Structure 1
Amino acid sequence: MSSHSQRLGVFPASGGIGGSTVKHLLPRLPARDLVFIARNPAKLDFASAAGATVRKADYDDNETLAHAFEGIETLFLISYASVEVEHRAERHRTAIDYALKSGVKYIFYGSLGLAGREDSKETVAHVMKPHLSTEKYLEECIHLYPGFNYTVVREGLYSESYDLYTAFFDPQNPVDEIKIAHDGSGPGIAWVKREELGEGTAELLRIFVQDPKGFKYRNKTVLLSGTKILSLQETVDILAKIAKKPVKIRQVSDEEFGQQPKVGPNFTYRGVDYGTVWATAFEAFRRGEASYASPLLRELLGREPEDFETTISRKDTFTL
Structure 2
Amino acid sequence: MSIVVTGASGQLGRLTVEALLARGVPAADVIATSRDIARIKDFADRGVVVRRADFVEPDSLAAAFEGADKLLLISTTTVDERVANHRRAIDAAVTAGVSLVAYTSMSHADRATTVLASTHRVTEEYLRERAVPSVMLRNSWYLENYTAQLPLVLRNGVVVGSAGQGRISAAARADYADAAAVVLTTEGHAGEVYELGGDEAFTLAELAAAISAASGKQVTYTDLPADGLAQVLTGAGLPAELAHVLVDADLGMSRGELFTASGDLRRLIGRPTTPPADAIADALR
Indicate whether the TM-score tops 0.5: yes
Equivalent residue, structure 1, for 2:267 = 299
Contact between 1:171 and 1:239, CA under 8 Å: does it hold in 2?
no
Contact between 2:197 and 2:259, CA under 8 Å: does it hold in 1?
no
Q: Matched residues in 1 for 2:217 and 2:245: separation?
A: 30
1:228 aligned to which of 176, 182, 200? 200
Equivalent residue, structure 1, for 2:103 = 109
Q: Matched residues in 2 for 1:277 and 1:315: separation?
A: 25
SS at match of 1:279: helix
Question: By how many angstroms is 1:292 displaced?
Answer: 0.9
- Alignment of structure 1 residues 240-319 onto 2, 5 Å: 240-261=212-233, 265-266=237-238, 268=239, 273-315=241-283
Q: Matched residues in 2 for 1:80 and 1:9: separation?
A: 15
Equivalent residue, structure 2, for 1:180 = 161
Task: Using the aligned pairs only, state the percent identity.
Answer: 26
Provide closer, same or farther for how the CA distance between residues 27 and 241 of structure 1 changes in structure 2, counting only shifts above 3 A.
Answer: closer
**Aligned partner of 2:142: which letter?**
Y
Provide the alpha-carbon RMSD of the alignment.
2.3
Q: Matched residues in 2 for 1:172 and 1:231: separation?
A: 16
Contact between 1:191 and 1:229, CA under 8 Å: does it hold in 2?
yes
SS at match of 2:101: strand
1:8 aligned to which of 3, 6, 9? 3
Q: Matched residues in 1 for 2:39 and 2:127: separation?
A: 29
SS at match of 1:265: coil
Contact between 2:160 and 2:229, CA under 8 Å: does it hold in 1?
yes
Equivalent residue, structure 2, for 1:58 = 54
Which string of whole-angstrom CA distances, capped at 9 and with x for unpartnered residues, describes residues 153-205 of structure 1?
112211111269xxx5635742134432233x2x4111211112112211221
2:89 aligned to which of 68, 91, 95? 95
Contact between 1:58 and 1:65, CA under 8 Å: does it hold in 2?
yes
Q: Does 1:130 align with 2:119?
A: yes
Contact between 2:19 and 2:178, CA under 8 Å: does it hold in 1?
yes
Provide closer, same or farther for how the CA distance between residues 313 and 171 of structure 1 changes in structure 2, counting only shifts above 3 A.
Answer: farther
Question: By how many angstroms is 1:138 displaced?
Answer: 0.6
Question: By how many angstroms is 1:10 displaced?
Answer: 0.9
